[in-house]
Amino acid sequence: MDNDATLKLMGKTAVSLAESGADIIAPSGMMDGQVAAIRQSLEKNSFKDTVILSYSAKYASTLYGPFRELAESAPSFGDRKSYQMNPANSDEALREIALDIEEGADIVMVKPALFYLDIIAKAKEAFRHPMAAFQVSGEAWMVEQYASSGMAKREAAVLESVLAVRRAGADIIITYFTEELLSMGSGLHLSLPAGQ
């Protein structure tokens, strides 16, 4: 990867997206300095209020499998471990999140969510910064499989999986269950009691 050349392209892309009406730019490349480069490009082009939601801690996870299968997007050679994080490493995640906040990220994100609840919780406690979590395809597949086995009601399993992410500290949850959660309407209570 040519980090510097990529940062220039990311800056141009961010401006193009903002010009097209995007309110939030969400870089997922895990490139060194990506948030600073994007923030600089946006501000230079009068988009200082455009939000940056950075994929700050993106793990090299097996949980992307169902999406990659469906989208036929598995790497044709090598893997993505050169820029995604080692699942065993929590210290690097906190360093990356801290750097993204310093560079101007408005929201930081951990991806995947359920296997990395400890990272979400540590980051929220350490930084008190707006936190997002991405519940990826493998997580949704596990909930679906469990519910379809008859061992749990689907709605209860979906709610519990999302509540776990919320309880860990995520302010925003990106999930395959969004439409379903919204349709639950007044039955959806993901706010937490004080002190939780």
> Which residues are annotated as catalytic?
58, 111
Q: What is the CA radius of gyration of the chain?
A: 18
First-to-last alpha carbon distance for the chain, in angstroms, is 42
CA-to-CA separations, 9 to 2, 15, 40, 47, in angstroms, rounded: 11, 10, 13, 17
- Angle at 113 (CA atoms; ends 159, 156), nearest 5 degrees: 10
d(CA 5, CA 178): 36
Assigned token pair, 155:
């709605």
